[in-house]
Amino acid sequence: MKDAVETPPDRTLARIPEVGSAPIGSDAERYLSELWESPPGWRGWLSTVDHKEIGLRYLVTSFIFLLIGGVEALIMRVQLAGPDRHLLTPEQYNQLFTMHGITMIFLYALPVLSGFSNYLWPLMLGSRDMAFPRLNALSYWLFLFAGLFLYASFPLGEGANAGWFNYVPLSGPEYNTGPNIDVYALGMVLLGISTTVGAVNFIVTLFRMRAPGMSIDKVPILVWGTLTASVANLFAVPSVSLAFFLLWLDRQNGTHFFDPLNGGKPMLWQHLFWMFGHPWVYVIVLPAMGIVSDALPTFCRRPLVGYAAVALSTMATMLLGFGVWIHHMFATGLPALAISFFGATSLAISIPSAVAVFAWIATIWLGRPVFQTPFLFFAGFVLLFVIGGLSGVMTAAVPLDLQLNDTYFVVAHLHYVLLGINVFPVIGGVYYWFPKFCGRMMNETWGKWSFWVLFIGFNLGFFPMHVAGLLGMPRRIYTYAPNMGWNTVNLITSIGSFVFAAGVLIFLANIAVSLKRGALAPQNPWDAPTLEWAVPSPPPPYNFAVIPLIASRHPLWEDRLDAAEGRSNLQTGYLLMDGRETLGTTALDAVPDVILKMPDDTYAPFFLALFSSLGFAGLLLDWNRFTFLMTAAAGLSLVAWMWPRQKLVQRVPGVSRVTEAGRG
Amino acid sequence: MHDSGSEYRHCVAAGSAFFPLAFGGMPDMAMAAEAAPLNYFLHSDGPASLPTMHLGWVFTAVVVAVLAIIALLLAGALFRKRTLAAPRTVGRENEGMRWIYIGTGLSTAALFALAVYMLITLDKVAQPTQTPALAVTVTAYDWWWKVEYDDDDPSRRFVTANEIHIPVGRPVRVRLQSADVIHAFWAPRLAGKTQMIPGLQNRQWLQADAEGIYRGQCVQFCGLQHAHMGFEIVAQSPVAFQAWQDAQRKAAAPASEPDAAAGRKFFIEQCAGCHSVRGTDAGGKHAPDLTHLNSRRMLAAGLLTNTAEHRIEWITRVQALKPGARMPAFALTPGETAALSAFLSTLD
């Protein structure tokens, strides 16, 4: 057995950690369990900082939002199934499509990926938790409360109603007098806090929490995807938070940022929104592409082709993604020369996507595919990804986009992108990691049924939308006349949407039944190569009894890959059990750097999130005294959070150099 | 758990079902045969949209070809015959890079060619080759269109609504502005769309090469009645266009018949706050100018054909036909109905 880590632990460690092993059932293992377990009952439920618990909550909550958004879509499809139907009033329709967009884009698409990443990152990286467990809890609670906030006015018939991109002046004080847009504006600022702290946590976790030996070129692609998305969030979210904050000031405090009668600029909104909006598209697809890049190879019985190329293409997509926002604004009358640059960049952004597509196809081609349910979703995804990408190429062509823009062609394109590249990998990912999450296998027969029903329903529902767009059907119309030539395509779309919904139901039924009666899952049911499959299903609260030593990208396939790579060591490693501890390593090479003292469970994040959200509710309702009280309470929660604790001190002065040499 | 033999059977079973479905959503182009007045993909009637239509065809052809190639590669990757191997073996890490080099290289070349073609097309449709024959200012309102015909001589200017007449075969400059929220002007068979943004004046041009009626539509979400904000462009021979302009410049004919006179009185009392009829005291600026209402084919921004019955139906049931429209519904007595109807019929 060759050790992955040749260098002795860094001298700056507070102490030289004991190296050993802690097999299941040993005293050491039991002690670790006690250390890391959350208290039972509601106390643990409100105070846990376990990334696995938080990850599952993200997944479940975002799936509930997906179902709500889906029901909204179905109601709209009933309205649009034929011409001149009057199931919904125009106002109801406008609120439905706006809430559908907000729900799917903000409350489902990113949070669901955060759920996967939260659950999987420490397991994939060989750590015992995220870098900032309490911040992690805060980001979940803020997401939940922001979601409830955004929905608060909808049951009262006062939901947001100006479309998810909420153009001014339609969303301004003059044309939107109800609370509808105030709820949306404040809710988005609140949600922006959640997204930002979540992004910070992911970035620091990647750079500091990898197992020793897992240098930056050995992390799974999902990690690259989420890292890229998180860095992008730090740049993109401020733009939209600012836009919504300025809008709220316009609406409630008499400013004129967007008011053309007083020197404001409606175009400012479009720029601020799309400087955020386009990177966001990649934020909600890159981690999902990462899911495929990591899980597809498992079912192809070979490593991903072109790991480095795919990782680089992930980042290249994002860099270019910050330079294409104008392609949402080709029709705003900007000079032809200016928009031609953005059109060309928008075409160029397909190049990194081509890298990924050919990497996936080569992986399947050179591998030996095993047609299990997750694989069906990933293979189907490749085709949907290509369709969504190609229709994107069409909309990047400026003159053509001046026709396609704001028609159903764009609706088709964005659904191929968001369902094809987000929902299909997500459902495939649930089938793949469900055994890890819940310790039970999902049913294969039902799984295959769910795939085919979803795949057929999806294409039946969304492909005809391309045709509707080419026939000139505008987006966001609550009804249409019978003589426009759109009757047949809309009927097919409506039928397809219900078939798709049936597929979702089969999937949910499969989850419900498998949770109770699924076969017990072994540690590594798919014979997968990555680290999360090296721990029991479901993982123990401490994740890894010993911090593993990593030598390759495929620690569980090393005995079978003929490359002359080192051998990882998953059985013996640093024990680290002086309280909740894990290892911090250097950013690029993952050399042990610091023993991290991890915090215990605490209510502080819950209360901070609760009081902040109530503060936002106070702003919405114009209850100034209440807002002030809630801000003070949030401040107190922060004090409790930050209160210095002896046992969280990372380095004890004077103790650090006592032990002379490591044992390595 | 992975017995290769059973895997292979899986491949075959899945293969028979996968293939047709990969193409299950292809468009049935026969559907386009239904009359679709906004179909810009198969119909173009002027030089501001024709190059774009051809661009659309080329892009579609390339995109469909790429999709077909990728689908074939994917199908081949999924179902190609493989030599049996021990179930636990895994492939080598550092192979297959040629897929990425060749695939990405070809994609890049294709995208470059498409980009060049796109820029050439953009150049063609951005500006007309000859000076526009006339300039029309279109102002979008919730949810209708004001159309102003400019002239150096102020007495020759006139205003109409929801119907734009143009001479055939000549480029027309359209100035676009908004009175309230953002709208977008789109007559797809003649030109691409342009947003109408409050505080800005945008410009585009269009030209119709054949006489006819071209449908247009607001295509930027603008609130409750975004769905019912259509317009029509009527392309006429220069002679007919001149005649139409001359007719539009005239004030409304005086209503001499008693019913019509009563109707006009009612109109001035009830409707003139918003509507104008030139030659009467009705001078409202918030709603369509109705001076030559009966010269128009449609009512209510493309919602109803312009008949005497529809005119009355619109006045009495506007909130049922177009909920949220800025015009209130009027409850008319039979006498008022007859009078108003008679007056409106005089607005030729």
Going A91 to A97 to A101 to A104, the CA torsion angle's sign is positive
Q: Tell me whether residues A371 and B7 touch, CB distance under 8 A.
A: yes
Q: Tell me whether residues B96 and A366 touch, CB distance under 8 A.
A: yes
Mean per-residue pLDDT, B307-329 = 95
SS3 A185: helix
Q: Which residues neighbour A427 within 8 Å (Cβ) at sequence distance 6 or greater?
A: A377, A450, A454, A507
Q: What's the pLDDT band for A578 if we cut at 50, 70, 90? A: confident
Q: Report yes or no: B194 at the A interface, CB cutoff 8 Å.
A: yes
| Nearest CB partner across the interface for B119, out of A340, A529, A554 | A340
Q: What's the pLDDT band for B6 if we cut at 50, 70, 90? A: very low
Q: Which residues of A touch B227 (CB under 8 A)?
A: 90, 474, 477-480
Token pair for residue B119?
């820029």
In chain A, what percentage of residues exceed pLDDT 90? 87
Q: Tell me whether residues A332 and B114 touch, CB distance under 8 A.
A: no
Task: Yes or no: say if B328 and B287 are a contact pair by the CB < 8 Å rule.
Answer: no
The predicted complex's ipTM stands at: 0.92
Query: What tens digit of pLDDT does each residue of A351-384 get?
Result: 999 999 999 999 999 999 999 999 999 999 999 9
Q: Given a cut of 60, is residue A7 above it in pLDDT?
A: no
Output the DSSP codes for B248-272. HHSPPPP--SHHHHHHHHHHHHHTT
Q: Given a cut of 50, is residue A142 above it in pLDDT?
A: yes
Q: Report yes or no: B67 at the A interface, CB cutoff 8 Å.
A: yes
Q: Tell me whether residues B181 and A167 touch, CB distance under 8 A.
A: yes
User: CA–CA distance from A548 to each of A35, A163, A662 (Å)?
Assistant: 19, 49, 17
Residue A212: per-residue pLDDT: 94
Q: Strands of A19-20's sheet, edge to edge?
A: A19-20, A569-574, A547-549
Q: What's the pLDDT band for A13 if we cut at 50, 70, 90? A: low
Burial of A484 (0-12, 13-18, 19+ CB in 10 A): buried
Q: Report yes or no: B320 at the A interface, CB cutoff 8 Å.
A: no
**pTM score, whole prediction:** 0.92
* Closest chain A C-alpha to B283 CA, distance in angstroms: 24
Averaged pLDDT of chain A = 93
Q: Report yes or no: B12 at the A interface, CB cutoff 8 Å.
A: no
- Based on its alpha-carbon atoms, the radius of gyration of chain A, rounded to whole angstroms, reads 25
Query: What tens digit of pLDDT does each residue of A263-287 get?
Result: 999 999 999 999 999 999 999 999 9
Q: What's the pLDDT band for B58 if we cut at 50, 70, 90? A: very high
User: CA–CA distance from A552 to each of A5, A167, A604, B4, B208 (Å)?
Assistant: 12, 49, 39, 27, 66
Query: What tens digit of pLDDT does each residue of B147-201 get?
Result: 999 888 998 999 999 999 999 999 999 999 999 999 999 999 999 999 999 999 9
Tell me the residues of chain B between 88 and 147 that have a Cβ less than 8 Å away from chain A. 88-97, 99-100, 102-104, 107-108, 111, 114-115, 118-119, 121-123, 125-126
Q: What's the pLDDT band for B4 if we cut at 50, 70, 90? A: very low
Tell me the residues of chain B between 210 and 239 that have a Cβ less than 8 Å away from chain A. 217-227
Q: Tell me whether residues A267 and B99 touch, CB distance under 8 A.
A: no
Task: Yes or no: say if A456 and A40 are a contact pair by the CB < 8 Å rule.
Answer: no
Residue A567: per-residue pLDDT: 86
Mean per-residue pLDDT, A649-656 = 54
Averaged pLDDT of chain B = 89
Query: What tens digit of pLDDT does each residue of B206-236 get?
Result: 999 999 999 999 999 999 999 999 999 999 9
Higher pLDDT, A148 or A11: A148
Query: What tens digit of pLDDT does each residue of A279-317 get?
Result: 999 999 999 999 999 999 999 999 999 999 999 999 999
Residue B43: per-residue pLDDT: 93
Q: Given a cut of 90, is residue B22 above it in pLDDT?
A: no
What are residue A596's DSSP bridge partners? A582
Q: Given a cut of 80, is residue B7 above it in pLDDT?
A: no
Mean per-residue pLDDT, A392-417 = 96
CA B281 to chain centre: 35
In a mutagenesis test of the A interface, which of B90, B194, B200, B220 is the best target, namely the one with the most A β-carbons within 10 Å?
Answer: B90
Q: Tell me whether residues A371 and B202 touch, CB distance under 8 A.
A: no
Q: Given a cut of 50, is residue A660 above it in pLDDT?
A: no
Q: Given a cut of 70, is residue A220 above it in pLDDT?
A: yes
CA B136 to chain centre: 18
Query: What tens digit of pLDDT does each residue of A591-640 get?
Result: 998 889 999 999 999 999 999 999 999 999 999 999 999 999 999 999 99
In chain A, what percentage of residues exceed pLDDT 70? 95
Q: What's the pLDDT band for A648 if we cut at 50, 70, 90? A: confident
Q: Given a cut of 60, is residue B34 above it in pLDDT?
A: no
